[in-house]
Every structure is written in C-alpha cells, then in structure tokens.
Amino acid sequence: MDFNERALRRVRALAIAVGLAGTGVIFARQGMRPAAGFFMGSILSVVNFEGLVKLADAIGGTRRPVPLAAALIALRYVLIGVALYVIVRVLGFAPLVVLSGLLAAFAAVVLEVFYELAIRRET
C-alpha cells in the first residue's frame, strides 16, 4: 500500500470519526433531532468525498469507473443538493447543523494534514 492509499484510508476513518464525534456532542448539547441532522450531513460529506476520490481515480487513470459510477460522479452535486433539500425542507432539520455535518470530510482532511506534519517533524 502506497502513501496516497494510506492517507486516503486515514481520511476516510477520520471523516467517520468526526461525524460520529460531532453527532455525539450535538446530541449531548442539543438533543436527538439536531444530532440526526448533523449525522445526515456528515454521511453526505463522506459520500461526496468518496465521489471525489472516484473522480480523481478516473482522471488519473488508476481505475476505470463503471458507467453508472461515472454518471453518479457527474451528478454528485445535483444529488447532494436534492438530498439537502429533502433533509432540510421535507424532513425539517435545521440547516445549520446539516451544513456543519457536511464539513466532516473537510475536518478529516485538515486533521490528516496535521498528522502528516507531525509525522514529518518527528522523522
């Protein structure tokens, strides 16, 4: 396993950990409904991150996506927008907690950068 694969594996794990930790904190402070909204946002964040990884693989030529995957990659922001609309407008979750959950993958990438900086400093 090369450096990039290990980093992606850590980012995936960190994104899930951030999503679960944030859900727990929001549950403790605000209750079940806001925590569920954050959790749904973090799920969308992880799904979008996976779409970006697949897009990078397709552009880089490391793996060839199946036609359905290529269509989903192309439509991911439309699908995320529809999912956000359903979560906020139809299900009635607060937009702020859902959007906060969407930052889970971003937080995971920042944590990965800090991890790499700390490891590089030690070696």
> pLDDT class for 107, splitting at 50, 70, 90?
very high
Q: How far apart are CA 11 and CA 101, in angstroms?
A: 15
Per-residue pLDDT at 123 exceeds 60 = no
Instruction: State the pTM of this model.
Output: 0.83
Tell me what pLDDT residue 65 has: 62
Q: How far apart are the first and last CA of the chain?
A: 20
Residues 73-92: pLDDT tens digits?
Answer: 778 888 888 999 999 999 88
**In 3D, which of 110, 112, 107, 96 has the Cα closest to residue 40?**
96
Per-residue pLDDT at 37 exceeds 90 = yes
Four-residue CA torsion sign, 20, 21, 23, 24:
positive
- Report, as an integer, the average pLDDT of 21-47: 95
Q: How far apart are CA 97 and CA 23, in angstroms?
A: 10
> pLDDT class for 64, splitting at 50, 70, 90?
low
> pLDDT class for 108, splitting at 50, 70, 90?
very high
| Matching residue, tokens 């299900």 | 91
Higher pLDDT, 27 or 120: 27
